[in-house]
Amino acid sequence: MTQLKKDTDMKTQARFYHAGCPVCISAEQTVAGALDPTRYDVEVIHLGEQKDRVAEAETFGVQSVPALVFDKEVFHINHGADLSALK
């Protein structure tokens, strides 16, 4: 009997979008920091500093920040700012 081995090198890409506000920073430290680094490759994106990434966030369905995106799902966490305010 042959066992299939899961490829441990394949991490799930996760994007954490925020605006730098206290709500966002707290969520980043709590939520993004809680993700298992052996399973998730987390990219933290500060939309206040990287306004060129706002359109990207919109394509994923992000409507407000802080938000975590992975597995084609958007998880809006609390409410720091509407995405429209960051344009």
Domain at 52, CATH number: 3.40.30.10
Residue 6, pLDDT > 90, answer no
**Does residue 63 sit within a domain?**
yes
Query: What is the predicted pLDDT for the residue at 1?
Result: 43
Q: How far separated are the first and last CA of the chain, in Å rounded?
A: 56
Query: What is the predicted pLDDT for the residue at 9?
Result: 65
Q: Which domain holds residue 80?
A: 12-86
**Does residue 35 sit within a domain?**
yes
Query: What is the predicted pLDDT for the residue at 80?
Result: 78
Nearest in space to 75 (alpha carbons), one of 39, 38, 37, 35 = 35
Number of domains in the chain: 1
**Does residue 28 sit within a domain?**
yes
Nearest in space to 61 (alpha carbons), one of 73, 48, 79 = 73
Query: What is the predicted pLDDT for the residue at 8?
Result: 52
Average pLDDT in the chain = 88
The 10s digit of each residue's pLDDT in 21-62 is 888 899 999 998 899 999 999 999 999 999 999 999 999 999
**Does residue 75 sit within a domain?**
yes
